[in-house]
């Protein structure tokens, strides 16, 4: 159910085929790593900082360094178990990483879906995509979020998003990725 492509050269189903091929290629890179900046807000409050996200299959390690205060925290876990370290009174554990971010930082971040969106691919479940002239996703709608792909690093194979703006009502999660590492089994 792709959004009606407005100008891309390829007909709709070829675009979806290209996207599916991209998703299959990325699925083969079970280990990946990004570093860049993240900004989260609910329209009133929020935060930002330098982010390093290391994914090894189902396991993730996300480190965030806030500017000025150098206040930093790290979220480590896998589906069903998450741990948030570095905050006063921590470490905190829960079966949900999203719950930890919500409770201790008041951040609403759909983490497991974001792991797909930040790579320019759909998370499991239904999603609609509008493609840019390049044939790469321009906007995706999924789980109540709309994800705008402001730019891709086309020098990478496959091209990877470099600026991703996800919005759901007042909630915003914005990522700028300066460094992607997709090597299989990358550290």
Residue ranges binding other proteins (CB under 8 A): 35-39, 41, 43-48, 50, 52, 63, 65, 67-74, 85-86, 88, 163, 165, 172, 174, 176, 178
A 10 A CB-CB count for 69 gives: 8
Cβ proximity to other proteins, 15 vs 114, nearer residue: 114
Minimum CB distance to other proteins smaller for 38 or for 100: 38
CB of 174 to other proteins, least distance (A): 4
Shortest distance, position 116 Cβ to other proteins, whole Å: 20
Give the residue with the Cβ less far from other proteins, 128 or 146: 146
Long-range contact list for 155-164, CB < 8 A, 24+ apart?
156/180, 156/182, 158/22, 158/25, 158/26, 159/120, 159/134, 160/119, 160/120, 161/118, 161/119, 161/120, 162/36, 164/117, 164/118, 164/120
- List of residues 6+ apart from 106 with CB closer than 8 A: 42, 45
> What is the smallest separation between the CB atom of 52 and other proteins, expressed in angstroms?
5
Shortest distance, position 1 Cβ to other proteins, whole Å: 29
For other proteins, the closer of residues 29 and 37 by Cβ is 37
Give the shortest CB-126-to-other proteins separation in angstroms: 28
Question: Before 91, cis peptide (omega within 30)?
Answer: yes
Cα 183 to Cα 34, 133, 173, distances in angstroms: 12, 28, 26
CB-nearer residue toward other proteins: 36 or 110: 36
């Amino acid at each position: 159910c792709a959004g009606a492509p407005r100008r891309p050269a390829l007909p709709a189903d070829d675009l979806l085929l290209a996207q599916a091929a991209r998703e299959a290629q990325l699925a083969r890179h079970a280990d990946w790593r990004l570093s860049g900046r993240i900004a989260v807000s609910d329209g009133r409050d929020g935060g930002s900082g330098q982010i390093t996200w290391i994914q090894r299959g189902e396991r993730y390690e996300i480190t965030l360094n806030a500017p000025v205060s150098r206040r930093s925290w790290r979220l480590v876990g896998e589906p069903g178990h998450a741990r948030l370290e570095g905050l006063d009174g921590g470490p905190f554990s829960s079966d949900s990483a999203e719950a930890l971010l919500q409770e201790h930082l008041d951040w609403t971040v759909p983490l497991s879906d974001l792991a797909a969106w930040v790579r320019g691919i759909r998370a499991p479940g239904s999603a609609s995509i509008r493609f840019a002239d390049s044939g790469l996703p321009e906007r995706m709608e999924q789980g109540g979020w709309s994800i705008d792909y402001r730019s891709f690093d086309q020098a990478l194979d496959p091209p990877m998003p470099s600026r991703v703006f996800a919005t759901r009502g007042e909630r915003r999660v914005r990522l700028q990725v300066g460094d992607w590492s997709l090597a299989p089994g990358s550290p």
